[in-house]
Amino acid sequence: MSSQNLFKFESQKVAKPYFVFALMLFVGQILFGLIMGLQYIIGDFLFPLLPFNVARMVHTNLLIVWLLFGFMGAAYYLIPEEADRELHSPKLAIVLFWVFAAAGVLTILGYLFVPYAKLAELTGNNLLATMGREFLEQPLPTKVGIVVVALAFLYNIGMTVLKGRKTAVNVVLMTGLIGLALLFLFAFYNPENLSRDKFYWWYVVHLWVEGVWELIMASILAYVLIKITGVDREVIEKWLYVIVALALISGILGTGHHYFWIGAPGVWLWVGSIFSTLEPLPFFVMVLFAFNMINRRRREHPNKAAAMWAMGTAVMAFLGAGVWGFLHTLAPVNYYTHGAQITAAHGHMAFYGAYAMIVMCIISYAMPKLRGIGEAPSNKAQVMELWGFWLMTISMVFITLFLTGAGVVEVWLRRLPESGAAMSFMDTQAQLMIFYWLRLIAGVGFLVGLICYLWSFKKSLQVAKDDRPAPLPAESV
Amino acid sequence: MSATFTKGMARNIYYGGSLFFILVFLALAYHTEKTIPERTNADQLTEAVVRGKHVYETNNCSGCHSLLGEGAYFAPELGNVFYRRGGEDGFKYFLPAWMKAQPTGVPGRRQMPQFNLTDQQLSDLTEFLEWTAKINTNDWPPNIEG
């Protein structure tokens, strides 16, 4: 099959470097995660060469950046097709790729090789202090770079949509991406009052992951389901609107579950508890959506792996974001669990299920086409990809279970007893070592899964070469 | 989903519902803004506290510690460390001495880097953590261990 037939518009090809680079950063994220997993057990591992705080910053920032690369790749791939026209400027997309990749690499190198206080001083943090807040550790030039890249990216895909066909998929995706960019502007607002600082910090963090990112996730999922099931677009887009309506109706006031203990008023105890109880709903509907559409499919798409990622991301997002989120979201429960390992358990499964898996879903669907292999990779390559899927997913389930176990014991020892009877932080940690060992083993399992997953790309290429049909006589002349 | 519930209806719920809850959220944010000064003793938010927050941020303290439960969970909660480590009489002596003694170098134990803070920075950090401990947090954390 020639590559011209595989996708409708030549400009969709700009998605490829975004996907490739996203997966490279993903590998880095997992390696730093394993280092931290060991530091949780052997406290002075790699100290002072790589202190825990630096490893954590690299781990979380790599996650955010690779997901952003994945979202941008997804947008560049699906927007032209949905808008039914070439991308406004493929050149701009390639330039932005290099700008963002360079900024990302420089930032990580800065974290690793320059002491953080020195990095802050060198990059103008004394002019406008934005650094040193969780997930927003990036130096000022990086933050400005993110805004510039985001604006140019939005211009590029926005012009494409404006001049082309507007579908629910591309309109919801655009809304999500515009929201992402606008909310990031709060990263530049760092009030002197800590409570106010935290209040607006969540405008970036919560309204991203429990707000506009859900729009991005749902629209990518809808796109992939339209493609692989052949179900009528009207039906799929109706589900999409229901999901994103539930996401924002529950998620916006659900922000309140972060306002229980930071100095905000007591009304949030009620608002946060009630609305975040509704937050599992959009994810539950996503599960129904993915399974229903695949059961009602009107075509047998050869890419079974992409269908598996579509179902997997819905289920794991529901478990990680929905169920594990609800476990500790009610104010009377959160009073005891806030800021302990249960939060870490929830964070890991939610990010993997909702966002890492949706990016791997669109990669699974789009990459065989972008690489000119065909509608789907060979069966052998898909089997290897599914090994990656199951190993990573099951490992993440175990990481979550072991961290939950650690969190329950931690709450039991340190939080539930009265002052005087409660165990200190460090003594409690010593009691959790068995959980941390098991978590580390599960983390190694995740890495093995990731290697299988990446290996499947190589396998599909090998097979593509081996299985290449003999040239037709007319062509061989 | 049934045919009587159309895509247009779903879209209207999405736009209408989102807009409504954004407005409610903004109203609640306004209420929060009005109450924060009293709940955080903003009159005691001195220059030293502000500088202390800057020290906390530029040394990436939240990369290991939690502060009012947010940050990392690798090292103790600092929102109430003022009360845990000496309070009104002792904390201003405890914190500088503790920071200067790091890292402890105990094999296998989690280590805090030596940040080489000046006496002024240590004093500012002390002020910041004292002010933070007095924020009205709806009685969180449950006990002194944080």
Q: Do A129 and B57 touch (CB under 8 A)?
A: yes
% of chain A at pLDDT higher than 70: 96
- Residue A441: which of A410, A395, A385 has the closest Cα? A395
pLDDT of A18 higher than 90: yes
Q: Is the pLDDT of residue A105 over 60?
A: yes
Task: Report residue A4's pLDDT band, with 50, 70 and 90 as the boundaries.
Answer: low
And the tokens for B26?
């903004």
Nearest CA to B139 out of A410, A256, A262 is that of: A262
User: The tokens 């049934």 sit on which residue?
Assistant: B2
What's the Cα-to-Cα distance from B117 to each of A117, B85, B129, rounded to whole Å? 10, 19, 15
In three-state secondary structure terms, B143 is coil
Residue A27 near residue A108 (C-beta atoms within 8 A): no
Q: Is A354 on the interface with B (CB under 8 A)?
A: no
Residue A256 C-alpha, separation from nearest chain B C-alpha, in angstroms: 9
Question: Chain B contact for A192, CB < 8 A?
Answer: yes
Mean pLDDT of A53-80: 98
**CA A112 – CA A119 distance, rounded (Å):** 10
Residue range A208-219: mean pLDDT, rounded = 97
CB contacts, 8 Å: A423 with chain B? 145
Q: By CA distance, what is A233's nearest residue in B?
A: B7
Give the C-alpha distances (Å, rounded to integers) separating A326 from A302, A403, A404, A406, B17: 37, 16, 13, 18, 22
> Cβ A52–B72 below 8 Å, yes or no?
yes
pLDDT of residue A1: 42
B68/A267 touch (CB, cutoff 8 Å), yes or no: no
pLDDT in tens, A133-169: 999 999 999 999 999 999 999 999 999 999 999 999 9
The answer to whether B144 touches B86, Cβ cutoff 8 Å, is no
Q: What gap in Å lies between CA A211 and CA A162, rounded to an integer? A: 24
DSSP helix/strand/coil, B47: helix
Q: Closest approach of chain A CAs to the CA of B31, in angstroms?
A: 8
Tell if the CB–CB gap between B109 and A52 is shorter than 8 Å: no
Element at A133 (helix H, strand E): none
Which parts of chain B sit beneath pLDDT 50?
none
- When the pLDDT of each residue in chain A is averaged and rounded to a whole number, the result is 95
Q: In whole angstroms, what is the distance from residue A195 CA to residue B135 CA?
A: 8
Contact in structure between A29 and A36 (CB atoms under 8 Å)? no
The rounded distance, in Å, linking the Cα atoms of A143 and B140 is 33
- Tokens representing A213 are 């990112």
* Dihedral class, residue A7 (left if φ above 0, else alpha if ψ from -120 to 50, else beta): beta
Tell me which residue has tokens 């032209």: A80
Greatest distance between any 2 Cα atoms in chain B: 72
pLDDT at site A471: 45
Q: Is B27 on the interface with A (CB under 8 A)?
A: no
| Residues of A whose CB is below 8 A from B42 | 193
Nearest chain B residue to A417, by CA:
B143
Q: What is the pLDDT of residues B48-85, one digit of tens each?
A: 999 999 999 999 999 999 999 999 999 999 999 999 99
Which has more confidence, A469 or A389?
Answer: A389
What pairs with residue B66 in β-bridges? B71
**Residue A469's pLDDT band (cuts 50, 70, 90):** very low
Taking the C-alpha atoms of residue A157 and residue A180, their distance in angstroms, rounded to an integer, is 14
Q: What are phi and psi of B78, to 5 degrees?
A: -110, -5
What whole-number distance in Å separates Cα of residue A68 and Cα of residue A289? 25
Q: How confident is the model at residue A467 (pLDDT cuts 50, 70, 90)?
A: low
| Mean pLDDT value of segment A23-51 | 98
Distance of alpha carbon A372 from alpha carbon A25, whole angstroms: 24
Q: Are A159 and A192 in contact (CB under 8 A)?
A: no
| A477: pLDDT strictly greater than 50 | no
Which positions in chain A touch B74 (Cβ < 8 Å)?
A: 39-40, 52-53, 56
Nearest to B19 by CA among A273, B6, B11: B11
Inspect the interface and report whether the beta carbons of B17 and A245 lie closer than 8 Å: yes
- Name the percent of chain A in helix, strand, coil, to the closest 5: 80, 0, 20
Beta strands in A91-136 (DSSP E): none
Q: What is the distance between the alpha carbons of residues B52 and A293, in angstroms, rounded to a whole number?
A: 55
- Ordered alpha helix ranges (H), A116-212: 116-122, 140-163, 168-184, 194-207
Query: What's the rounded Cα separation, in Å, for the pair A236 and A342?
Result: 35
User: What distance, in Å, lies between the first and last C-alpha atoms of chain B?
Assistant: 48
Rounded Cα distance, A79 and A162, in Å = 11
pLDDT at position A404 over 70: yes
3-state secondary structure (DSSP) of residue B65: strand
To the nearest 10 degrees (0 to 180), the angle between helices A280-295 and A213-229 is: 10
Q: Report the pLDDT value the prediction gives residue B83, as an integer from 0 to 100.
A: 98
Report the alpha-carbon distance of residue A445 to residue B60 in Å, rounded: 30
> In the predicted model, is pLDDT for residue A2 greater than 70?
no
Per-residue buried b or exposed e for A248-274, using 16+ beta carbons within 10 Å of the residue's own CB: bbbbbbbbbbbbbbbbbbeebbebbbb
Q: Per DSSP, which regions of chain B are E strands?
A: 66-67, 70-71
CA B20 to CA A396: how far, in whole Å?
37
Task: Find the helix or strand (DSSP H, E) in which A414 lies.
Answer: none
B92 near B119, Cβ under 8 Å? no
Instruction: Pull the structure tokens for residue B4.
Output: 């009587």
Q: B12, B30, B32, B115: best mutation site toward chain A, by most A Cβ within 10 Å?
A: B32
Q: Quickly tell me which residue has 């001195």 as its tokens.
A: B46
The rounded distance, in Å, linking the Cα atoms of A253 and A272 is 6
